[in-house]
Amino acid sequence: MPFWPLIPAFVLRTCERQQSAASPGRNRAHRLTKANFVRPIALARFAAPLMAGFLLVSSLACAQDGAPGPRPSDQFSFMQLLADKGLHDMENESWNAYGQFTYISSWKSSFSAPYTNLNGSINSLLPTAERSFTGTATLYLGLRLWNGGEAYLVPELISERPLSQLRGLGGAIQNFELQKGGTSTPQIYRSRLFFKQTVGLGGKSLVEESGPLQLATHYDSRRLVFVAGNFSVLDFFDTNAFDVDPRLGFLGLGFLTYAAYDFASDARGYSYGGIAEFHWDDWAVRAGRITPPKQPNQLPVDFRLFKYYGDQMEAEHKHTIRGQDGMARVLVFRNHENMGRFSDAIAAFQADPAENATTCTTFNYGSQNAGAPDLCWARKPNVKKGIGGFAEQTIGRGIGIFGRAMYADGKTEVYAYTSDDRSAAVGVLANGTAWSRPGDDAGIGTNIGWISNVHARYLGMGGVDGFVGDGAITAAAEESFDLFYNANFGKIYWLSGDYQHIAHPGFNAARGPVNIFTVRIHGEF
């Protein structure tokens, strides 16, 4: 049974908006403060019908920022400690250093499935009970090089064990920290190394607060920003849902950004490339070209940026409705990558059944289904396109609702993010000030993903893509519901409890539903 109509029954109260981490596009004027968190009961009365209406009529979807948000001054941090001792200027920083660690442990209960990995296909979510975890530790180092010029380096450590080897789910993957190819042996890697230059064009003077991936400074509301190097696309595009640090927000991957946004990135989710932003008061436009992986969902990067690339453009507008801040964005992307079209894979198999999943001579996912087509026989330079919209709105002093949706063409395989061809998500975020727990956060939301008809036909014939493929399919939307509460302790640690209910895992109505319970421990310094 679809669970999303039940969501309006939940009324959450407050939400603290934080600034964008990596881009000065979200300014202080657009931020909620704790002083706003009052009258929770009246707020709840207002929020419930609004949320219900929103969920029933809106197809927009939502997500969180790919980058961390700024650190409030009342929260412990190494930089604040130095500033308190008069050793650091928190208003105009020449450097900063922040860190975080997060441990996420998920438990999936067993579920019913009439078949699993049918006929040698390999991408089913296993129906047995499983445990998954991720552990990450990150250092965020920033340095001001000259006026307007900043450089950032972010080394990170990850250890992980996914459910079913990260197979069997589309955009409903339960933990956004999971990386393709990760192992339980800790790996240290460089997640970001980029340069940012801001050119002021006048307008109002705005404040950028100190935080991970942002040096405290003042900047013009009208400006140009150029970024080059190694980063996550989500540091700059589709940063949203009140810029809550994802490690403090929803755990589901479908809430990180549009699940159908197959942004070019390596297996860890990072890319090389360049981005340009133009900000004009409440308006912003950004465009970027970034590197894809050499093979779908793998780590090696293809630097031939004129041959294979991911292009994206986003327009953004901030607004106020009855004195409440909001934002709307539209994003389009166009990837040109060496990827397979589902129709070509099917045609190749039908023309010659010897060209099946077990006879691949080029990169493939290792399916043992000899009666299935495979994308390995169809890879060539192809284009994937998509368009999406996002909106977020505070609906009273502290509660924030958000929604996002994307439509991609669905003709080609997943190359970097999730198997969704279309996605939609909505949610509510609230801060705990209203119940005298100002460091706490809570959220409730739903994420729905669809695949195209030709994608479903390919999976139905036993084919697999980077994540899904049970060997057969009763095609349906993959739906996930996510509810979390995040409790703060000692201004350094957060303990979260999260519940996710996933219907039709892998877009297959014949399997599931799946229940996943998660605990998260997060610390910042």
Q: Is 155 in the site for other proteins (CB under 8 A)?
A: yes
Q: How far apart are CA 90 and CA 218, in angstroms?
A: 12
**Looking at 50, 90, 97, 313, which residue binds other proteins (CB under 8 A)?**
97
Tokens 């942002």, located at residue:
214
Selected from 45, 131, 190, 380, the binder of other proteins by CB under 8 A is 190
- Between CA 444 and CA 430 the distance in angstroms is 9
Binding of other proteins by 191 (CB under 8 A) = yes
Residues 19, 242: Cα–Cα separation, whole Å: 7
Work out whether 48 is an interface residue with other proteins (CB under 8 A). Answer: no
In whole angstroms, the minimum distance from the beta carbon of 78 to other proteins comes to 10
Q: Applying CB under 8 A, which of residues 107, 115, 189, 195 lies at the interface with other proteins?
A: 189
Q: Does 147 interact with other proteins (rule: CB under 8 A)? A: no
Cβ at position 92, least distance to other proteins in Å: 14
Rule CB under 8 A: is residue 95 a binding residue for other proteins? Answer: yes
Q: What is the DSSP string of 34-92?
A: GGG---HHHHHHHHHHHHHHHHHH---B----SS--PPPTTS--HHHHHHHTTS--SSS
Nearer to other proteins, 90 or 97 (CB): 97
Answer yes or no whether residue 300 interacts with other proteins by CB under 8 A.
yes
The residue (of 190 and 380) whose beta carbon lies closer to other proteins is: 190
What single DSSP character describes residue 238?
S
394 binds other proteins (CB under 8 A): no
Binding mask 98-137 for other proteins (x = CB under 8 A): ----------------------------------------
Of 501, 381, 494, the C-alpha closest to 448 is 501
> Quick check: 299 binds other proteins (CB under 8 A)?
yes
Pairing of strands 422-431, 478-489: unpaired
Residue 82 engages other proteins in binding (rule: CB under 8 A): yes
Q: Is 283 in the site for other proteins (CB under 8 A)?
A: no
- Residue 232, interface with other proteins (CB under 8 A)? no
Q: Are 524 and 492 in contact (CB under 8 A)?
A: yes
Of the candidate residues 65, 220, 245, 266, the single one contacting other proteins (CB under 8 A) = 266
Interacting residue with other proteins among 187, 197, 474, 515 (CB under 8 A):
187
Contact 272, 230 (CB under 8 A): yes
The DSSP code sequence of 161-211 is: E-GGGG-S-STT-S-TT--TT--SS-EEEEEEEEEEEEEE--S-EEEE--B
Candidate residues 1, 35, 87, 146; the one interacting with other proteins per rule CB under 8 A = 87
* Whether the Cβ atoms of residue 457 and residue 474 lie closer than 8 Å to each other: no
Residue type, 424: A
303 interacts with other proteins by CB under 8 A:
yes
Asked if 83 is part of the footprint of other proteins (rule: CB under 8 A), the reply reads: no
Tokens of 44: 């709840």
Residue 48 to residue 16: CA distance in whole angstroms: 18
Q: According to CB under 8 A, which one of 38, 143, 285, 332 is a site residue for other proteins?
A: 143
CA atoms of 403 and 412, how far apart (whole Å) = 25
Query: Which of 329, 379 has the CB closer to other proteins?
Result: 379
Q: Which of 93, 302, 413, 465 binds other proteins (CB under 8 A)?
A: 302
The residues binding other proteins (CB under 8 A) are 82, 87, 94-95, 97, 139, 141, 143, 153, 155, 187-191, 193, 230, 266, 268, 270, 272, 294, 299-303
